[in-house]
Amino acid sequence: MTRALCIGVALALGVAAVANGLFMLASPEGWYFAVPGVTTTGPFNQHFVRDIGLIFLFIGAAFLTGAALPRYRIVLWAAPTLWLWSHALFHFWEVAVGICGPSVLARDFPAVTLPALTATVLTFWAIAEGRTAAGARPLRALHS
């Protein structure tokens, strides 16, 4: 049950990230005006939106590929998790230094902090699964 749930959540996270990335690439201005709160972060910049769209494509591809390839799952999920946390912490920093009010944290939670938390849980599950899975290389073998 846990395995199926984690793989399902990883697939959902991957599909959502790919969809977001494609939206950002295909219609940067449409994305800019469609996502709540984005217009308050600064003027529209097509290049910037598309740059971040590429990042979301890679994040989504990493979660989808990790769901399909258990051998590489830890690194495929850990790397985008680090970016997702960097993004979330940047939002907290903006509040801490007074750029935004605290209310933005609640508004941004579903699209910023929740994916970072979800990715963290998935990555820790992948680590635990990697240690116990039949036929998986022990983690200590990676240090040899």
In degrees, rounded to 5, the angle at the alpha carbon of residue 22 between the alpha carbons of residues 16 and 28 is 120
The Cα–Cα gap between 73 and 69 comes to: 6
pTM: 0.88
Q: What is the largest CA-CA distance in the chain?
A: 52
**Number of structural domains in the chain:** 1
pLDDT (tens digit per residue) in 23-75: 999 999 999 999 999 998 899 999 999 999 999 999 999 999 999 999 999 99
Domain ranges, residue 107: 2-143
Residue 139 pLDDT: 54
